[in-house]
């Protein structure tokens, strides 16, 4: 294989530098395009016509719900204890 002549080495070096420059430029432009696209297109699946869900329960309502759940858990634990004791 013959050695590259100085003129060819210079041309190769210039071509590699140009490739590096264009690669960098293309990445910058792709990044800018992505930023623009993200800013323009908001692809959330949100219906703008829906009414917001508001919790209208009073603190007393919430305490009653909690108390009912405590009783439910107590009954489930009692059942579980009877089941474990009968094994």
Rounded Cα gap, residues 5 and 27, in angstroms: 33
Rounded Cα gap, residues 59 and 26, in angstroms: 59
Average pLDDT rounded to a whole number, residues 3-12: 78
For 11, phi and psi rounded to 5 degrees?
Answer: -65, -40
Q: What pLDDT digit, counting tens, does each position of 13-71 carry?
A: 999 999 999 999 999 999 999 888 887 776 677 787 888 889 999 999 999 999 999 99
What is residue 78's predicted lDDT score, i.e. its pLDDT? 95
What is residue 58's predicted lDDT score, i.e. its pLDDT? 96
Rounded Cα gap, residues 30 and 40, in angstroms: 15
Q: Do the Cβ atoms of 31 and 39 come closer than 8 Å?
A: no
Domain boundaries, the chain: 6-85
Rounded Cα gap, residues 26 and 32, in angstroms: 10
């Amino acid at each position: 294989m013959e050695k590259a002549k100085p003129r060819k080495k210079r041309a190769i070096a210039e071509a590699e530098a140009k490739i590096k420059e264009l690669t960098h430029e293309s990445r910058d432009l792709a990044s800018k395009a992505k930023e623009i696209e993200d800013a323009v297109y908001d692809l959330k699946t949100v219906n703008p016509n829906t009414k917001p869900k508001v919790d209208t329960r009073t603190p007393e309502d919430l305490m009653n719900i909690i108390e009912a759940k405590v009783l439910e858990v107590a009954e489930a634990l009692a059942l579980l204890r009877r089941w474990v004791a009968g094994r």
